[in-house]
Amino acid sequence: MESPEGRGIARRAWEGYTGAIGKVATPALRPLVRLYAAGSLVDLVGFWAVWHLEGGFEGLQKMGMSRASIYRRVKLFRVAFGAHPDEFVMPGITLDLEAYRAGWLEWSKAKAEEQAKSQS
């Protein structure tokens, strides 16, 4: 059953990690959370991921983001992480562009089939 944590996948992964290495006292981003709101950091990490997965500035524009919005997020990212999102290497995160594209294509097809069935 779903909860505010969804199905608890991330929670189980975190508990498995902390159980394997011993108790972790604080989240890895705690030093930045002291300086910035936690929600803003989550947004910036997501921005970094989408920046790379969609091909940078032009890819974000093709998604529908305005130039001003992109520049604003780049500036916030630089302030928080000390580097441009294009150059920053996010510790512990590896992006698989091929799997990303294939996964979203599969999801889109399944969603279209689901909608077609519900309309018939």
Give the pLDDT score at 69. Answer: 96
Q: What pLDDT was estimated at residue 17? A: 61
pLDDT at 15: 72
| pLDDT of res. 59 | 92
Full-model pTM: 0.68
What pLDDT, on the 0 to 100 scale, is given for residue 22? Answer: 60
Residues of the chain where predicted confidence (pLDDT) is lower than 50: 1
Query: Could you report how far apart the first and last alpha carbons of the chain are, in Å?
Result: 29
The pLDDT, as a whole number, for residue 104 is 92
43, burial (CB in 10 Å: exposed 0-12, middle 13-18, buried 19+):
middle
Please state, as a whole number, how many other Cβ atoms lie within 10 Å of the Cβ of residue 73: 20
pLDDT at 2: 54
- pLDDT at site 120: 75
Q: Check if the beta carbon of residue 32 is closer than 8 Å to that of residue 80.
A: yes
- Domains of the chain: which residue ranges? 28-119
What's the residue count for the chain? 120
